[in-house]
Amino acid sequence: MHGATDASTPLRQGPMMSDNLPQQPGYNGYDQQDQYQQNQQSQAPAAPNHFVLAFKGVCGAFLDIFKSNPTGAHDRMQQHPLWSWLIACTLQSVVGSLFIMAFLNTYAGQIFRVLFVVTKDTAKYTSGAYTADERFLLFLIFLLLIFGVLVLRGVGLMRIARIGKSQMGFNSAMDIVGTAVLPQIPAFLVLFFLSFLLPHASTVTDTYAVWQRPILVMMIVFAVFSVIVGESLLYLGQAKVANTEKSVFFMYVVLSTAFVLAGILVLYFGFSVLAPNPSSSAH
C-alpha cells in the first residue's frame, strides 16, 4: 500500500517548542540551585555557643549542690567536659588569689610571711608594703599556682581510678574537681571581704580588738567547712564517674593528704621563690 510507512524509516520530528522559546540573558539553571542552597543555609540555626552553655551548666550545678543534689551537679558538669572545669577552676583561682592577697596584708597574714619566707629580706618582706605592680604580679603568681594545684588534684583522681581498675579521662577528672570547688568560690569570696575587717599589718604592735577575734575564728571555721564540702563532692564524683571495681577509699585518703602537702609546698614555693620582695617599707 502506498499509504503504508516503512517501519525502518525514522519519523521526522519537528523542532521542540522549548527550542523556539527565547532565553533570558544571563539565565543559568545552576544559579537558581545555588540561590536555593544559600537560602537554606541562611535559615539554618546558628551553632550553639559551648562557653555559654557550659557557664549555664556551672550555674545549674552550683544550685544543685545547695539543693542537696550532688549527683545532678556532677551530671551537669560532665555535659561540657572542657569548658565546665575551666570556668569553675578559673573562678576558684581568681577568688583564692584575691583572698591570699587580702589576707597577707593582715596581722595574721604576717605570721604566714614569716613561716614561708626563706630567700627574701626577712625584715622587709614580713613588714614591707607592696607597690601596685608588685601586687598585680603577686596576684598572677598565686592565681597560676592555685590553678596548677587543682590540675594536680585532677591527675590524682585519674591515678585513683586506675588503682581501682577503672579508666577516667583528664576532662572527666577535672569536671569532678570543678564541681568540688563550686561551693568554695563563694566561701573564699566571703573570706576575702572578711579579711578587710582584720587589723592591718602596718606595725608589729597591732593587736586584735574584742570584736575582731570572733571574725578570725569564723573565717577559720568557714574555710574548714568549705574544704570538707569540697572533699565530699570529690569523693562522690570519683565514685560516680570512675565506677571502680574495688573500693579506693584508703587510697583516696592517702592522696588527699598528699594533695594537702603539695598545696603547702606550692605556697612555700610561691612565697620563698616567686613572690617579689616589697620595694617599700610600711610605716
Which residue would you say has higher pLDDT here, 193 or 135?
193
Q: Are 91 and 182 in contact (CB under 8 A)?
A: no
Alpha-carbon distance of 239 to 233, in angstroms, equals 10
Average pLDDT over residues 138-167: 88
Task: Name the residue with cell 594537702.
Answer: 260
DSSP for residue 225: H
Q: For the segment 158-189, what is each residue's pLDDT rounded down to a tens digit?
A: 988 888 888 889 999 999 999 999 999 999 99
Would you state the cell numbers that stand for residue 151, as one nine-digit string? 590540675
Q: Are 156 and 258 in contact (CB under 8 A)?
A: yes
Burial label, 186 (beta-carbon count in 10 A; 0-12, 13-18, 19+): middle
Would you state the cell numbers that stand for residue 209, as one nine-digit string? 580588738
Amino acid identity of 194?
A: L
pLDDT reported for residue 112: 64
Which residue would you say has higher pLDDT here, 27 or 101?
101
Beta bridge partners of 129: 280
User: How many residues does this entry show for the chain?
Assistant: 283
Would you state the cell numbers that stand for residue 283, as one nine-digit string? 610605716
Amino acid identity of 51?
A: F
Amino acid identity of 80?
A: H
Q: For the segment 200-226, what is each residue's pLDDT rounded down to a tens digit?
A: 655 444 555 666 778 878 888 888 888
Task: Name the residue with cell 571495681.
Answer: 245
Amino acid identity of 169?
A: G
Provide the pLDDT confidence category of residue 283 given band limits of 50, 70 and 90. very low
Per-chain mean pLDDT for the chain: 76
